[in-house]
Structure 1
């Protein structure tokens, strides 16, 4: 059974005055989530938890850590969206040109399309 997450105000207070206690709560709650997960999901969650912890260690401050982890989340979401687009495209041919660069798609060349570029470097 998972512990109750303290209120936002309590977490802010810990972040300001007792970051070690906040980290202890984070580790405890992460361990509880991993313990409650099914074996097949647990391995994936442990890998994700490891990656997040390594990113946090590489960062110089909490803001940089937040930005890196947010970038990881957005990259994962983008990959999931791309896979979903591949699954949906056969049923909806008009979706095939979505998210393609005009450089790679002759149908979009000459149109006023601005490709989305990710800022992955920190």
Structure 2
């Protein structure tokens, strides 16, 4: 796996070459996902895609940081609920509605 540069190098990239920093971020994320068990890859790819979509709307680095923390916090809260109330999680069922046929 690619070695993460030290903080000063990352700071320099952020200030002087943000495109290179973004390439490094994408490369590290891809490598991390590639090294995960197959059972989790689809979820991680989906979560990464969602995170990138949300980040693309950010106007500055502080907004990106806040948004990333907020999204990860939401995931941890959901995971905490599942761990602490597994029976409640298993009992959740979606109600499937049938739609009336379209009138032409």
Kindly provide the CA deviation profile for residues 16-73 of structure 1, in whole angstroms up to 9, marking residues without a partner as x.
Answer: 1110110111111112122222222111110111011011101111111111111111
CA RMSD, Structure 1 to Structure 2 (Å): 1.6
Q: Which residue of 1 aligns with 2:79?
A: 80
Q: Which residue of 1 aligns with 2:4?
A: 5
Tell me the TM-score normalized by structure 2. Answer: 0.75
**1:42 and 2:41 equivalent?**
yes
Whole-angstrom CA distance in 2 between matches of 1:14 and 1:44: 30
Q: Which residue of 1 aligns with 2:94?
A: none
Query: Which shows bigger deviation, 75-84 or 43-52?
Result: 75-84
Considering fraction of residues, name the structure with more helix: 2
**1:21 and 2:20 equivalent?**
yes
Q: Which residue of 1 aligns with 2:62?
A: 63
User: Aligned pair count?
Assistant: 87
Tell me the TM-score normalized by structure 1. Answer: 0.65
Whole-angstrom CA distance in 2 between matches of 1:28 and 1:41: 18
Whole-angstrom CA distance in 2 between matches of 1:34 and 1:78: 22
User: Runs of 4+ in structure 1 displaced over 3 angstroms?
Assistant: none
